[in-house]
Copies of this chain bind each other. A is one copy, B any other.
Amino acid sequence: MPELRRDPVVGYWTIISTERSRRPVEYKPDKISEEAECPFCEGRELRTTHEIYAIRKSVPTPDSSGWQVRVIPSKTPLLVSDQKIARFGEGIYDLMNGVGRHEIIVESPKHSHDLDEMPVSHLEDVIAVYKERINQMETDPRLQYALLFKNHGQMINARQLIRHSRSQLIGMPIIPKRVKEELLGVKSYFDRRERCVFCDILRQESSEGLRVVYQNDAFFAFCPFASRAPFEIWILPKKHSADFGRLEPSDFRGFAETLKTSLAKVRVLLNDPPYNFILHTAPYRHKKKDAYWKTLEEDFHWYLLISPRLTHHAGFEWGTGIHINPTSPEDAALLLRETGV
């Protein structure tokens, strides 16, 4: 059972992940696995945990072939769903048991390396599944937030790197610190100006044009002014909307095109670097007790953050919270705009 522990000074939470427990000798570089060993490929459904959702063209038999996008529970979940939430103290310290949900969204039946290699119509299916799973998790009253993210091309604490395109969705019983900070930030901006800060960013970026990467009718991709990573990209819907879970199917295509183009530019310009993407969307609203949730619809604006991992954090970044970016977002955006895909 994973355990959430709270630091008594600043209040950050840490997951002590006993499922992933490691002795010192196990902290060593991992290996890249071959397609022949990949459990996520079509035809190897029985090698994974049991399917909980899929888009299929043919007869819907779970854990068989014929799927386009497939969702399974994580084999080594960070948070587990078969418990009630328990919060307790240990002297001056605070703990919670690690309740939540952890799903893997396998984005292609083929051993595709990444989303930008797939047709736009397939990406629309992937986006539909993101939305479906986020909204499904909202029906669990214990959960306050669901984080959708992708780790691409990184050997992250895993024993091996499997290059089959997939994302992860983790439903949590708390609103994480990073999300709370963003919600407080948008609220404070709105309180002063009665405008959404992201709509203001869109207006300024669109008129200056310096940091634009790509846009179409409904979506806008750019390198943010205070980019914490070189070649960081944010994709925003042009129409104000707080909640990715309410994305209209008519907008799937515009988002798919923008995502595919942005990822393809990153791959070509930077030679297929490792990257993360993280969906920034509104928390679940079935618990309306916090003040900053009340005005969420007008304050907040969902976006997808794509962050290539070209630099590393060290003492300065950990000690201050200030990131060092050696490439200005203006230079990054210019290079990305000029990269043909």
Residue from A8, A224, A269, A310 whose CB has the most chain B CB atoms within 10 Å: A8
B-binding segment of A47-55, A150-158, A253-261: A150-158
Residues on B with beta carbons closer than 8 Å to the beta carbon of A271? 24
Chain A 237-259 near chain B by CB (<8 Å), digits 1 or 0: 00000000000000000000000
**A323 — which chain B residues lie within 8 A by C-beta?**
12, 14-15
- A191 to nearest B CB, angstroms? 14
Q: Size band of the A side of the interface? A: 35 or more
Q: Which of A114-122, A135-143, A180-188 touches B?
A: A180-188
Beta-carbon contact of A15 and B324 below 8 Å? yes
In the assembled complex, A270 has its CB within 8 A of some CB on chain B: yes
A319 adjacent to B178 (CB under 8 Å): yes
Q: Decide if A92 touches B17 in the complex (CB within 8 Å).
A: no
Interface residues of A in 219-245 (CB under 8 A from B): 224-228, 230-231
Q: A200 in the interface, Cβ–Cβ < 8 Å?
A: yes
- Closest beta carbon of chain B to A19's beta carbon, Å: 9
| Cβ–Cβ contact A147 & B316, under 8 A | yes
A198 to B278, CA, bound (A): 35
**Given known contacts A92-B197, A151-B314, A156-B312, A189 and B321 CB-to-CB distance under 8 angstroms:** no
Docked-complex contact B320 and A147, CB < 8 angstroms: yes
* The one of B6, B18, B320, B328 that contacts A172, using a Cβ cutoff of 8 Å: B320
Hey, which chain B residues are within 8 Å of A21, CB to CB? 326-328, 331
Are the CB atoms of B157 and A270 closer together than 8 Å? no
Chain B CB within 10 Å, residue with most, of A13, A27, A335 = A27
Interchain CB contact (< 8 A) of A78 among B184, B231, B310, B324: B324
Find the B residue at minimum CB distance from A227.
Answer: B14
A139 to chain B, nearest CB (A): 21
Partner of A322, one of B93, B176, B331: B176
A253 to B327, CA, bound (A): 43
Q: CB distance B228 to A327 under 8 Å? A: no
- Near B by CB (< 8 A), chain A positions 1-19 give 4-18
> Smallest CB–CB gap between A235 and chain B, Å?
15
B92 and A156 form a contact (CB under 8 A): no
- Residue pair B15, A168 in contact (C-beta under 8 Å): no
* A14 closest partner in B (C-beta): B226
Report the separation of the CA atoms of residues A201 and B78 in the bound assembly, to the nearest whole angstrom.
27
- A-B contacts besides A17-B326, A149-B314, 13 pairs, CB < 8 Å: A9-B197, A9-B198, A14-B226, A17-B324, A23-B327, A24-B270, A27-B230, A27-B311, A91-B204, A147-B316, A149-B319, A176-B320, A279-B319
Which 3 A-B pairs give the minimum distances between C-beta atoms? Answer: A149-B315, A176-B320, A178-B321
